[in-house]
Amino acid sequence: MIEVMIAVMLVAVGIMAMASLQGPAWNTTERSDLLGRAAVILHRTLETNELMLMNPNRPNPCVGGAPFVLNQPQVWAGGQGAAQPGDIAYNVLTTILDNMNGSWNVRVQVAWPGNAVGISETVVVTRQEAFRF
């Protein structure tokens, strides 16, 4: 009889411990999802700008040495022009800085509601003849 009471108490403690972890688990899941989507947008934006700058036929986006800044306040994670089910709007800030030596620094920052800092990455880009079209 005492063994049954001990087993019931152990199961009850286990269930209470598992229930107390449910909230933090959902928060971690949400953060992971938002961060993963932001990383996809960051990579896509960096790669697009890199490909454009590598083409020698494209004009320099920086006029007179001033950096080129593009703020896109509503970029959808799905990559579509409109929100898809489950999409969230991300803010994408792209800054292109001419290094005046045939290279550019492309910095992309992706933020989302609840995280104004978000994630960012910078890449150095040079013109390449193989990318002429």
Q: 38-47, 57-66, 85-94, 123-132 — which one is most confidently predicted on average?
A: 38-47
Q: For 76-95, write each residue's pLDDT tens digit.
A: 877 777 777 878 889 999 99
SS3 assignment for the chain: CHHHHHHHHHHHHHHHHHHHCHHHHHHHHHHHHHHHHHHHHHHHHHHHHHHHHHCCCCCCCCCCCCCEEEEEEEEECCCCCCCCCCCCEEEEEEEEEECCCCEEEEEEEEEECCEEEEEEEEEEEECCHHHCC
pLDDT for 6: 87
Q: What pTM does this model have?
A: 0.78
